[in-house]
Amino acid sequence: MREEKAATTVRPRTPQGRATAVAHPNIALIKYWGKRDERLFLPWTDSLSMTLDIFPTTTSVRLDAEAEQDEVTLNGAPATGEARRRVVAFLDLVRERAGLSRRAVVDTENTVPTGAGLASSASGFAALAVAAATAYGLDLDATGLSRLARRGSGSASRSVHGDFVVWHAGRTTGTDEDADLGSYAEPVPSAGLDPTLVIAVVDAGPKTVSSRAAMRSTVDTSPLYRPWAASSTADLAEMRTALRRGDLEAVGEIAERNALGMHATMLAARPAVRYLSAATLTVLDSVLQLRREGVSAYATMDAGPNVKVLCHRTDADQVAAAVCAAAPGTAVHVARPGPGARLLNEDG
C-alpha cells in the first residue's frame, strides 16, 4: 500500500467531488503489441503515436455518498459486462490511491461512429483518468496522469498528450514501483510536418478477437514476436529522427513496415490471428499505386481490417478519393494532429 502511493507521485489534494474531461483517440505509428505485465499494463516495447483531432470522448465523474455501487453510463445506456468491469476496476485503483471509498456516477459520451474501427478505449480511459483523478483529489501531473490512464488501457497513456507522443515501456527489472514509474507517455518533438491521416473504414463490424487477447496469444505463441519487438526498438529510434527532421516520407515508411511486422507476428501466432481482410489488401494496393504515382501515402492498421493512410495535408483529398475508388463502400474520415486530454470547466 505504501509502495503503491509512492509509485504514483500522488500529492493529496481536496477532492473536487465532480469533474468532466475530454480526450481524443490516437493512432500508433510504432505499435504497442504485447504486455510484459498484464496487471500493471507494462508493454514489452516503446510505442509512438499521433493523437487525433476528431472523435473526442467526454467523461464526467461525480462522487455519490449514498451509492452502494458505481453507476456507469456509456452513450446514454448503462454499461454492462466487460466495459463496466474495466471502468469499475479503474475507479477502484483511483479510490485506493485517494484513500476514499465513495462510489461514483460516470457518464461517458464517445463520438467515434460505431464500428469506425477506432478503439475508443484510448480516449475513454484518458478522459476517465483526468476526470476521476480530479473528482477523487489525486494531484497528478501529466506524467502521473499518463501512468494512471495506462492502467485502464495501454494506449490511453498516449492520449493524455497531443500531437506526437512516445510511450516508454520502462525497465523490465526492478520492483513493481520502479516499473510503474518508468512506464509513461510524453510528447515527442516534430518539426515542420503537416500530416493527415485518412482513415479508411472498410468494415464497420465488431472485431472478432479483442486486441488484449490477441496480443497475449501473440506474445505466448508467435515465433516472430521477439524479432519484431527487437526491430520495433530500432524503428522507434529512426522514427524519432524522422520526426525531428519533419520527413513525412521516412515517418510513413517506418510506420508502414512496423505495422506490417506487427500483423506478421499475429499471422504466425498459434492459432493465427488475422485482422486484415481482402478489402484491407485492396486499400494497401491503392496506397502502393499512389506512391507509384508520386504521392506520399503510407498505411498502418491496428486490431481490425481498417486502414489509416498517412499523407501530406495537401494530398488528403486525392488519397481519400483513390482509396474509395479502389474499395467501393469504404467510408473515410480525415484526421489531423489533435490535443491532449483536458478538464472542462462547468460551462464546458
Residues that bind ligand DP6 (CB under 6 A): 28, 31-33, 41, 47, 119, 121, 153-155, 211-212, 302-303
Whose Cβ is closer to ligand DP6: residue 134's or residue 155's?
Answer: 155
Question: Please, what is the minimum distance in Å from the beta carbon of residue 136 to ligand DP6?
Answer: 22
Which residues neighbour 2 within 8 Å (Cβ) at sequence distance 6 or greater?
A: none
Question: Please, what is the minimum distance in Å from the beta carbon of residue 348 to ligand DP6?
Answer: 28
Question: Please, what is the minimum distance in Å from the beta carbon of residue 183 to ligand DP6?
Answer: 12
Whose Cβ is closer to ligand DP6: residue 31's or residue 147's?
Answer: 31
* Phi and psi angles of residue 48, each rounded to the nearest 5 degrees, phi first: -145, 135
Question: Please, what is the minimum distance in Å from the beta carbon of residue 83 to ligand DP6?
Answer: 12
Whose Cβ is closer to ligand DP6: residue 28's or residue 104's?
Answer: 28
Question: Please, what is the minimum distance in Å from the beta carbon of residue 33 to ligand DP6?
Answer: 6
Question: Please, what is the minimum distance in Å from the beta carbon of residue 96 to ligand DP6?
Answer: 20
**C-beta of residue 264 within 8 angstroms of C-beta of residue 216:** no
Whose Cβ is closer to ligand DP6: residue 153's or residue 183's?
Answer: 153
Question: Please, what is the minimum distance in Å from the beta carbon of residue 95 to ligand DP6?
Answer: 21
Whose Cβ is closer to ligand DP6: residue 137's or residue 162's?
Answer: 162
Report the alpha-carbon distance of residue 219 to residue 6 in Å, rounded: 30
Question: Please, what is the minimum distance in Å from the beta carbon of residue 15 to ligand DP6?
Answer: 27
Cis peptide before 206 (omega within 30 of 0): no
Whose Cβ is closer to ligand DP6: residue 119's or residue 322's?
Answer: 119
Whose Cβ is closer to ligand DP6: residue 154's or residue 261's?
Answer: 154
* Phi and psi angles of residue 158, each rounded to the nearest 5 degrees, phi first: -80, -30
Tell me the three cell numbers of residue 329: 463502400
Closest C-alpha among 119, 116, 109 to residue 60: 109
Whose Cβ is closer to ligand DP6: residue 27's or residue 326's?
Answer: 27
Q: What is the largest CA-CA distance in the chain?
A: 64
Question: Please, what is the minimum distance in Å from the beta carbon of residue 184 to ligand DP6?
Answer: 14
Whose Cβ is closer to ligand DP6: residue 269's or residue 326's?
Answer: 269
